[in-house]
Amino acid sequence: MSVRMRRLLLILSLLGVGIAGYLTWVKLSSSVAFCGGVGDCSSVQNSRYGYILGIPVAYPGLLAYVTLTVLAVYNLRAAVERRGWTELLFFVVAFAGFMFSLYLTYTELFLIHAVCPWCVASFLNLTVMTVLSGYAVFLRPGEPEA
């Protein structure tokens, strides 16, 4: 995976930490998410789909993005021969997050009938991360470092 791709994935991971961190703060502080007049974050976050096993979905989302950030930093610093498994692990975590976010987006659109712009931003971010990391791992293996 090229240095440029690894840097881009780090930036996207940090963006995800920001989004999920904000949504986590909203839940922990019992605040109302700022949606800028677009969507209905409260309806989405407080619905029964906003929790998994009684835990707000923002918490595992933040954990996933922090994991992706750690993997991205490792991939930037590690020697080439030590990065293969973490690049694949990055894709696996991003793909799992994407699939869960796809499910949550489905619930927003078809079950809750409300949309949270923060959730949409996270879904789009995970989509891009999954596509880029999948492309780099599976379609461009052994890509030069430049």
Instruction: List pLDDT tens digits, range 66-79.
Output: 999 999 999 988 88
CATH number assigned to the domain comprising residue 15 = 1.20.1440.130
Q: How confident is the model at residue 23, as a pLDDT?
A: 94
Give which of 125, 107, 102 is closest to 21, Cα–Cα: 125
Q: Does 146 map to a domain?
A: no
Q: Does 145 map to a domain?
A: no
pTM, whole model, 2 decimals? 0.90
SS3 18: helix
- CA 58 to chain centroid, in Å, comes to 10
SS3 34: coil
In the chain, the number of structural domains is: 1
- pLDDT, one tens digit per residue, over 39-48 is 788 888 889 9
pLDDT at 146 over 50: no
| Structural domain boundaries enclosing 10 | 3-139
Q: Does 144 map to a domain?
A: no
